[in-house]
């Protein structure tokens, strides 16, 4: 006989089932908000998008996370801090995302990091290289994946010191990333090689370099070596104008990022031989984790990965591991879980350091060469990110107390 008591017991039992098992999976996907400067930096960000799409596919094929699939809701921030903050707010309030990932230019990354701090939302900064994002302006909710400006510069400095060149010229894009790279290079070189001189400095507007005038100004200074943080079309124009003026003859050149396929491939036979660079020799890396990624990427896209592909893939895998470790979508629990979380990336296992929220993702360092009419990286080596960071005491002085 069905009594009120047994009916209530049945309802309670059904309610308990609704919170677990298959019904839990029916809550809908976990939404990850992603924003980036797709129109402004397509060379890097089109492969980056492919990378995160591959990661989403793999995670969902393996059952998702917390019993739910993941879904990336993406917005273009137009490469401007103001638009990025508006997009971030839209992703939170209108789309109901659980956390934010992405951004490319350093000034945009810093703006979204500040937004994350104000709104108390987790933000995994994928690409912005500025050191401020984890040090001077670091906050409890922002974590950064890529090897930073300081770290990549520190990876190149040992080779620069070995050459013992006294007169250095510097050229950089005049915004946060280029300014930070220049500051790091001067600081590290001065400490490692007392007596070094910086005889010329050219700060160029991003995407609007007057390459001929810049190359001539550097040539007039008669440097022994050049440190550059130019990338993309600015780098290609600088290489062309510098070669026409004989700027690089007998002059050693160090350039952050120039070994990344995104920026190296367009140079083709104009690739300057012997430059010291950071980059991504994708065809020569034989580690199990990279081989697995490479095979999956080529099978899906019938194309080779760029560094952006690795970053996009590792960004989503970072978000997934953080959610998994937290066991929850609660922001405070995810922020706590992100400290010390380990993530397997195509570059190996990385850890997001509890001290400053910087991942230990490494980078490849080598020299440029030309083979079969194409540029490539030669004499390369992998440098673990943890070996290119300042001391813990130095970081504590730079990073504000939480």
What would the DSSP string read from start to end of 97-140?
-SEEEE--SHHHHHHHHHHHHHHT--EEE-S---GGGTTTT--T
pTM: 0.91
Sequence-distant (6+) residues with CB within 8 A of 101 are 32, 33, 34, 123, 124, 125, 126, 315, 316, 318, 319
The Cα 125–Cα 129 span in angstroms is 9
How many CB atoms are closer than 10 A to CB 2?
7
- Residue 246 φ then ψ, to 5°: 70, 20
Does the domain formed by 150-284+364-392 have CATH 3.90.110.10? no
Higher local confidence (pLDDT), 21 or 275: 275
In the chain, domain spans: 28-148+286-362, 150-284+364-392
Task: Give the tens place of pLDDT for each residue, 159-202.
Answer: 999 999 999 999 999 999 999 999 999 999 999 999 999 999 99
Give bridge partners of residue 36 from the DSSP assignment. Answer: 76
Q: What is the dihedral of CA 89, 95, 100, 105, to 10 degrees?
A: -60
How many CB atoms are closer than 10 A to CB 19?
9
How many CB atoms are closer than 10 A to CB 282?
21
317 has a pLDDT exceeding 80: yes
Using only the alpha carbons of the chain, give its radius of gyration.
23
**Fold that domain 28-148+286-362 belongs to in CATH:** Rossmann fold (3.40.50)
Please give the angle made by the CA atoms of 218, 196 and 191, to the nearest 5 degrees: 130
Task: Give the tens place of pLDDT for each residue, 255-302.
Answer: 999 999 999 999 999 999 999 999 999 999 999 999 999 999 999 999
**Rounded to whole angstroms, what are the CA distances from 104 to 18, 40, 88, 161, 179?**
41, 10, 14, 30, 16
14 has a pLDDT exceeding 70: no
13 has a pLDDT exceeding 70: no
Tokens of 249: 């003859």
- On the question of a common fold for 28-148+286-362 and 150-284+364-392, the answer reads yes
Residue 26's pLDDT band, with cuts at 50, 70 and 90, is low
């Amino acid at each position: 006989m069905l009594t009120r008591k047994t009916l209530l017991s049945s309802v309670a039992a059904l309610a308990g089932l609704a919170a677990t098992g298959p019904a839990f999976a029916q809550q809908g996907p976990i939404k990850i908000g992603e924003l980036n400067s797709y129109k402004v930096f397509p060379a890097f960000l089109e492969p980056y998008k492919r990378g995160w799409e591959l990661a989403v596919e793999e995670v969902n094929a393996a059952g998702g996370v917390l019993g739910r699939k993941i879904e990336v809701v993406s917005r273009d921030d137009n490469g401007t801090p103001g638009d990025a903050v508006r997009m971030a707010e839209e992703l939170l309030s209108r789309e109901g995302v659980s956390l934010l990932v992405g951004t490319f230019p350093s000034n945009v990354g810093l703006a979204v990091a500040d937004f994350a701090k104000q709104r108390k939302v987790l933000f995994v900064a994928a690409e912005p290289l500025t050191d401020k994002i984890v040090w001077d302006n670091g906050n409890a909710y922002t974590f950064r994946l890529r090897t930073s400006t300081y770290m990549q510069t520190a990876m190149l400095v040992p080779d620069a010191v070995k050459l013992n060149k006294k007169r250095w010229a510097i050229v950089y894009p005049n915004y946060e990333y280029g300014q930070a790279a220049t500051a790091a290079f001067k600081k590290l070189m001065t400490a490692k090689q007392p007596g070094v001189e910086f005889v010329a400095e050219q700060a160029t507007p991003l995407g609007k370099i007057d390459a001929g005038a810049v190359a001539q100004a550097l040539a007039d200074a008669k440097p022994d070596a050049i440190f550059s943080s130019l990338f993309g079309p600015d780098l290609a124009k600088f290489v062309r104008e510098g070669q026409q003026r004989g700027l690089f003859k007998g002059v050693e050149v160090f350039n952050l990022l120039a070994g990344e396929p995104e920026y190296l491939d367009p140079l083709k036979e104009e690739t300057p031989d012997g430059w010291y660079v950071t980059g991504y020799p994708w065809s020569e890396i034989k580690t199990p984790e990279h081989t697995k990624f490479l095979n999956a990427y080529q099978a899906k896209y019938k194309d080779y990965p760029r560094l952006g592909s690795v970053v996009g893939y590792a960004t989503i895998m970072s978000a997934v591991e953080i959610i998994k470790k937290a066991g929850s979508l609660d922001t405070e629990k995810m922020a706590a879980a992100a400290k010390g979380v380990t993530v397997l990336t195509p570059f190996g296992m990385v850890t997001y350091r509890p001290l400053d929220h910087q991942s230990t993702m490494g980078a490849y360092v080598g020299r440029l060469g030309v083979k079969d009419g194409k540029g490539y990286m030669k004499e390369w080596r992998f440098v673990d990110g943890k070996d290119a960071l300042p001391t813990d005491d130095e970081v504590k002085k730079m990073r504000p107390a939480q």
